[in-house]
Amino acid sequence: MGNLCHFARFDLKPAFRIDLDDLGVRYRKRAREVHPDRFADAGEREKRQVLEESAALNDAYQVLRSAPMRARYLLSLRDGELPLEVTVQDPDFLIQQMQWREELEELQDSADLPALAAFKQRLKAAQERLNDDFELCWQDSARHAEAVRLMRRMQFLEKLNHEVRDLEERLDD
């Protein structure tokens, strides 16, 4: 059971575009069936199994509801595990990255909260575009390299979003 495909756990076919509300409904239904609270009386062995099952379900849910993680997972289903950190050959995006980082530094200095909110909105729009592009190419084996590149871009954006969150926290002091 532990090796069941993340999508199969929710009776879904592997896809990039998924309805997150529907996924939530499926998750809660499954979680009810395998949560340790329902096995408070069970033997140690069964409890351990349920714990593992429940943890695996939580893990699957977390992967599928995040676009970057879902994209990465889809590619790994086909190509096997992808290394987490690689030197990305993506000069166009590199320039974009540098611009964003500069902006973030300026925002840190200016502590301009409305500008920070606007910046977040732009990152969100960039993520949406990546989602659209990824959807078009991930199933096409001829465009495999492009799909991997888009997935790496998503990962960068995710990291940048974390940095934005950290900045928000620092500015909240």
Partner 1 sequence: MALLQIAEPGQSPQPHQRRLAVGIDLGTTNSLVAALRSGIAEPLADAEGQVILPSAVRYHADRVEVGAGAKAAAAIDPFNTLVSIKRLMGRGLDDVQQLGEQLPYHFVAGESQMPFIDTVQGAKSPVEVSAEILRVLRQRAEQALGGELVGAVITVPAYFDDAQRQATKDAARLAGLNVLRLLNEPTAAAVAYGLDQQAEGVVAVFDLGGGTFDVSILRLTGGVFEVLATGGDTALGGDDFDMAIAGWMIAEMGLSADIEPGAQRGLLRAACAAKEALTAATSVVVGYEGWQGLLTREHFDGLIEPMVARSLKSCRRALRDAGLEAHEVEAVVLVGGSTRVPRVRTAVAELFGREPLTDIDPDQVVAIGAAIQADTLAGNRREGEELLLLDVIPLSLGLETMGGLMEKVIPRNTTIPVARGQDFTTYKDGQTAMMIHVLQGERELVSACRSLARFELRGIPPMVAGAAKIRVTFQVDADGLLSVAARELGSGVEASIQVKPSYGLTDGEITRMLQDSFQHASDDRDARALREQQVDGERLLEAVQAALAADGERLLDAEERQAIQIQMDELRSLLAGQDQAAIEQQIRRLSQITDAFAARRLDATVKAALAGRNLNEIED
Contact residues: partner 1, CB under 8 A: 24, 28, 31-32, 35-38, 40-41, 51-52, 54-56, 58-59, 61-62, 165, 168-169, 172-173
Min dist. Cβ of residue 169 to partner 1 (A): 6
Contacts 24+ apart (CB under 8 A), 51-58: 52/1, 52/2, 53/1, 53/2, 56/1, 56/2, 56/4, 56/9, 57/9, 57/27, 57/30, 57/31, 58/31
CA 77, CA 83: separation in Å to the nearest integer?
Answer: 13
Min dist. Cβ of residue 38 to partner 1 (A): 7
- Positive or negative, the CA dihedral 142, 148, 153, 155 is positive
Nearer to partner 1, 95 or 162 (CB): 162
Nearer to partner 1, 12 or 56 (CB): 56
CA 157, CA 129: separation in Å to the nearest integer?
Answer: 12
Q: Residue 69 is encoded by which pair of tokens? A: 């993680």
Min dist. Cβ of residue 37 to partner 1 (A): 6
Nearer to partner 1, 62 or 76 (CB): 62
Min dist. Cβ of residue 59 to partner 1 (A): 7
Q: DSSP code of 66?
A: S
Nearer to partner 1, 11 or 173 (CB): 173
- Positive or negative, the CA dihedral 90, 159, 81, 12 is negative
Min dist. Cβ of residue 173 to partner 1 (A): 8
Nearer to partner 1, 120 or 144 (CB): 120
